[in-house]
Amino acid sequence: MYPIVEKTDLPGGVFRYRVCAPEIARKAAPGQFVILRVDDHGERIPITIADADPEGGTLLFYVQAVGVTTLRMSRLKTGDRLRDLAGPLGLSSPIEPVGRVVAVGGGFGIAALYPIVKAHVQTGNAVTVLLGARTRQLILMETEMRRLTPDVLLVTDDGSVGRQGLVTDALAPLLETNPPDLVIAIGPLIMMKAVSDLTRPAGVATRVSLNPIMVDGTGMCGACRVNINGRLKFACVDGPEFDGHQVDFDSLLNRLQAYKEEEQEALKRIRRELETDCPLGTGKP
């Protein structure tokens, strides 16, 4: 059991959790994730490690209540416990002196991007950070990013802060005036595809972090398979980071639609349970 030592409610149905998991915190590296289970009857879901404190023995997660498990998790309080955490999983992000890096984070991808940016800054790379979201309230970890680098640009769909538009609108002039040595993009799949399409003709190396359907996180179930340069890979053990110019984004986008109807039905059921104050998962008052 893994106690929640701190829970913070943020706008947009977003919650920040600091969870006590000393063994994972000591071994976690930038780019890795955990598989989480809320209770004995819960499903297993992947959650990216936003930060790890080896000395304090804690992990930081950002979670938005949009599905069955995240809604269940949103009801937990400081002092409650998570049933399972398996990790750290996945390959760590390759960090090496490359020169100039542009790190692009969209929505919840910002949380996954943070430890990678920190590692690049500590390595001595010059890092420009682009943070994008639908609106000002949904931009995560801006303060933490600005502690790492003064070169932080904000982009919002509604123009409530920073530049109005998409992160690619802010990335394009950077590629034209002073092309970086590396672009890292983490966020919605369609955003990472757009970034990769933009950097490909510019010849700029690009890495993306994929989060497909995932069950066990150890390469056994095959649910997270992705097509990389014509070869089958598993995001949980071969990734989650890949060369963005080699990812078959179209096939992955199609695969993510596989269980939409089942997900919507499960979401309706859990919302009914919440409205009637049933014990979650029982359907009974």
Q: What domains does the chain contain, in order, with CATH numbers?
A: 2-89 (2.40.30.10), 100-209 (3.40.50.80)
pLDDT at site 206: 98
Q: What's the pLDDT tens digit per position in 57-86?
A: 999 999 988 888 888 898 899 999 999 999
Q: What share of the chain is helix, strand, coil (3-state, %, to 5)?
A: 30, 30, 40
Strands in 126-133's sheet, in edge-to-edge order, are: 163-164, 152-156, 126-133, 100-106, 182-186, 206-209, 241-243
Confidence of residue 276 (pLDDT cuts 50, 70, 90): low
Average pLDDT of the residues of the chain: 90
Determine phi and psi for 217, rounding to 5 degrees.
75, 10
Whole-model pTM? 0.90
Q: How confident is the model at residue 268 (pLDDT cuts 50, 70, 90)?
A: confident
What does the pLDDT read at residue 266?
A: 73
Mean pLDDT in residue range 247-260: 84
Which tokens is 194 given?
A: 């757009």
pLDDT digits (tens, 9 = 90+) for 18-65: 999 999 999 999 999 999 999 888 888 999 999 999 999 999 999 988
Are residues 249 and 195 in contact, defined by beta-carbon separation less than 8 angstroms?
Answer: no
pLDDT score at 264: 76
* Cβ atoms of 208 and 195 closer than 8 Å: yes
pLDDT in tens, 110-130: 999 999 999 999 999 999 999
